[in-house]
Amino acid sequence: MESLTVGLGARSYAIHVGADLLTALPDWLKALQLPRRVMLVSNQVVAPLYLSTVECCLAAADFQVLSVILPDGEASKNAASLEQIYTSLIRSHCDRQTLLVALGGGVVGDITGFAAATYLRGVPFVQLPTSLLAQVDSSVGGKTAINHPLGKNLIGAFYQPRLVLIDVKTLQTLPARELSAGLAEVIKYGVIADANFFHWLELHSANLRRLEQEFLIEAVLRCCRIKAAVVAEDETEQGQRALLNYGHTFGHAIEQLCGYGQVLHGEAVAMGMLVAARIAERQQLCRMEDVQRIRELIAACGLPLQPPSLSLEACLEVMLRDKKVTAGRLRMVLNEGIGSAKLVEIADPGEVFAVALAPELLHG
């Protein structure tokens, strides 16, 4: 097991990464003196795989265990699922001495975190991420949210977990498509923050897709280190943390317009990263060679390159509701070569995206 800390003063917390860690959960909860009443939140796909393991180890350690199982998928990241958690908590007479534990991917983690932030004005929660995307990104940093029909993650709160316990063995049951979707967020960290890591991914993307444990642990650790450092410096996304949204501006538009869950989040981010790289090259922030390397790594990870056929006007309408829009001006993250990025205001989004989405450019 490897460990690191998200440094937020009195609200600092540990991230533990390794294999076969789920059954160690009771020891960590006791060490942190967290409540002995636990509400486990999972979904219909993950629960049959891991819920009983976690329930049994907690019960054996004298924790009182309750559980709620949500529908699966991005389409369920909504107010109805949030209300399902609230209803379970209220009917079970849960008070502030209740711990919420998110057992699942990014959707489960985001909803559970938002429920924890708002139930009785705040109860503690812990992340047990079971997807690669959640392990390298959404479980760390305290962004919690649900989707709205008019936009992704528009309703939420910054609310930090007390612990993130990452067991890479859970990736053995992850479908190949979901694994590739998680790799999009891994690539993101290399592009925006660490050129050496990007090169490491070029060498070892096949090892990751084969689920080789030492490579998975290394990739998860490197991503979490980058994110932990960014969150410690800019918890509520006033500056540097916005760079973590590389590929997300256009990616979120794809997700919403295609219908949540039709295009996986990581797939949409992959396409968004390629569009962002094309824009960066047109603005002379990177070279065509950089764009080609990004394209080739995205393809090597089994991710799509060509966005679906969507109306440019519809995409622009969605992007102008993005959280990074300020005073009606669209801002997006663009890479500076590989290993660095910046937030750039897009003066004429219609023209910029029309050029970046030209098929001959996207295909290289």
Q: Out of 91, 93, 121, 363, which one is annotated catalytic?
A: 121
Does 289 participate in catalysis according to the annotation?
A: no
Report the number of distinct structural domains present in the chain. Answer: 2
Q: Is 245 in the active site?
A: yes
Annotated binding site: 72-77, 106-110, 130-131, 143, 152, 170-173, 185, 248, 265
Query: What's the domain range around 101?
Result: 2-173
Report the pLDDT value the prediction gives residue 364, as an integer from 0 to 100: 53
**Boundary residue ending a domain (109, 140, 173):** 173
Of 102, 99, 124, the closest CA to residue 111 belongs to 102
pLDDT at 88: 98
58 and 99 inside one domain: yes
Could you tell me the CATH number of the domain that includes residue 90?
3.40.50.1970
* Tens of each residue's pLDDT in the chain, 364 residues: 999 999 999 999 999 999 999 999 999 999 999 999 999 999 999 999 999 999 999 999 999 999 999 999 999 999 999 999 999 999 999 999 999 999 999 999 999 999 999 999 999 999 999 999 999 999 999 999 999 998 889 999 999 999 999 999 999 999 999 999 999 999 999 999 999 999 999 999 999 999 999 999 999 999 999 999 999 999 999 889 999 999 999 999 999 999 988 999 999 999 999 999 999 999 999 999 999 999 999 999 999 998 998 888 999 898 988 766 776 788 899 999 999 999 999 888 888 888 888 765 555 5
Q: Are residues 169 and 312 in the same domain?
A: no
Burial of 351 (0-12, 13-18, 19+ CB in 10 A): exposed
Whether residue 150 is found in the same domain as residue 180: no
Does 263 share its domain with 335? yes
Same domain, 234 and 157: no
Last residue of a domain, one of 138, 173, 208: 173
CB 254 within 8 A of CB 291: no
From the candidates 248, 278, 295, 323, give the one annotated as an active-site residue. Answer: 248
241 tagged catalytic: yes
Whether 190 and 296 map to the same domain: the answer is yes
* Same domain as 84, residue 206: no
Clarify whether residues 355 and 209 are in a common domain.
yes
Token reading at 117: 């932030």
Residues 94 and 189 in one domain: no
Establish whether 227 is a catalytic residue.
yes
Q: Is 363 a catalytic residue?
A: no
Give the end of a domain, one of 124, 154, 173: 173
| 218 and 351 fall within a common domain | yes
Asked if 265 is an active-site residue, the reply is yes
Active-site residue (options: 43, 245, 267, 278): 245
Residues 190 and 61 in one domain: no
What CATH number should be reported for the domain holding residue 333?
Answer: 1.20.1090.10
Distance of CA 355 to CAs 151, 226, 268, 317, 352, Å? 24, 32, 19, 17, 5
Could you give the CA distance from residue 329 to residue 311 in angstroms, rounded to a whole number? 20
Q: Which one of the listed residues 252, 278, 293, 295 is annotated catalytic?
A: 252
Among 43, 147, 162, 185, the active-site one is 185
Residues of each annotated binding site for Zn(2+)? 185, 248, 265
- Residue 101, SS3 per DSSP: strand
- Compute CA distances 8 → 21, 129, 140, 231, 233, whole Å: 24, 21, 12, 8, 9
* Burial profile 14-43: b = 16 or more Cβ within 10 angstroms, e = fewer: bbbbbbebbeebbebbeeeebbbbbbbbbb
Per the annotation, the verdict on 16 as an active-site residue is: no
Residue positions in the annotated binding site for NAD(+)?
72-77, 106-110, 130-131, 143, 152, 170-173
The reply to whether 2 belongs to the active site is no
Looking at residue 120, what is its pLDDT? Answer: 98
* Same domain, residue pair 86 and 181: no
The question of whether 148 is a catalytic residue gets the answer no
Whether 312 contacts 303, CB under 8 Å: no
